[in-house]
Amino acid sequence: MSTNQAEFYRGLEAAGDALHRCQSPSPADQAARVHEAIEPLLTQTEHHPQLACRLGCSHCCHYPVGIAYPEAMRLVAAVRSRPELAERINNANESVREQAWEQLVGVPCPLLIDDACSLHESRPMPCRALGSLDATACADALVTDRAPPRDEEAWWRGLGAAHALAEPKPGGSRELRSALSAVLAAEEQDTEQAFLAARPAPGA
């Protein structure tokens, strides 16, 4: 087993244990428990002290993000109390509706306000797990496609946790703008179907 595979399964196991121990039937609560459980694994890595990520550095917030259903529900729960964010999400989704996934590179996340995530506490696993070792390389990546160096331990652990979140019904992951806009517009009993109808993330 490669190092990356071992880290993936470490994140998968931690997230699976958190889901098993979560007593709440609420998908939003389940996402919160997984996020809480995985946080130590994302910060206790060899490269974490050298991370270039700082408040106001938002290059990574200009890439499309795939989220699982529980994460969509956690974000929607946070958005419900901030109607201005719901409008931003709906407008952002409408503006990129016809664009392919690859064309979303360079488009800012609708949750990004003044170069900071407006729902940082509820951010999904891909945002949590991506730790850059070079902010200049992140800026360069947006225009060159050269991937910046990242904390690979944290990234693969996060991928494992994301897989655990996306595995239960309804499975897979969806693009953040599309998923949130669809779920926000759905009746409470129809959120699963609304999520499934949203734009799939690659490989979902």
Q: Is residue 23 part of a domain?
A: yes
Condensed to tens digits (0 to 9), the pLDDT of residues 16-43 reads 999 999 999 999 999 999 999 999 999 9
Residue 204 lies in a domain: no
Spatial separation of the C-alpha atoms in residues 181 and 62, rounded to whole Å: 18
User: Which one, of 201, 160, 203, lies nearest residue 69 by Cα?
Assistant: 201
Dihedral-angle region of residue 203 (phi above 0 means left; psi in -120 to 50 means alpha; beta otherwise): left
Containing structural domain, residue 79? 3-197
User: Is position 202 within any domain?
Assistant: no
Q: Examine residue 72 and state whether it is found in any structural domain, yes or no.
A: yes
Return the closest-CA partner of residue 34 out of 155, 120, 111, 124.
124
* C-alpha gyration radius of the chain: 16
Number of domains comprising the chain: 1
pLDDT tens for the chain, residues 1 to 204: 799 999 999 999 999 999 999 999 999 999 999 999 999 999 999 999 999 999 999 999 999 999 999 999 999 999 998 989 999 999 999 999 999 999 999 999 999 999 999 999 999 999 999 999 999 999 999 999 888 999 999 999 999 999 999 998 888 999 999 999 999 999 988 999 999 999 999 976
115: in domain: yes
Distance, CA of 193 to CA of 161 (rounded, Å)? 23
User: Is residue 141 one of the residues assigned to a domain?
Assistant: yes
**Residues 86, 89, 92, 97, CA torsion sign:** negative
CA 70 to chain centre: 11
d(CA 198, CA 119): 21
Average pLDDT of the residues of the chain: 95
128 lies in a domain? yes
Nearest-angstrom CA–CA distance, 94 and 85: 14
Examine residue 203 and state whether it is found in any structural domain, yes or no.
Answer: no
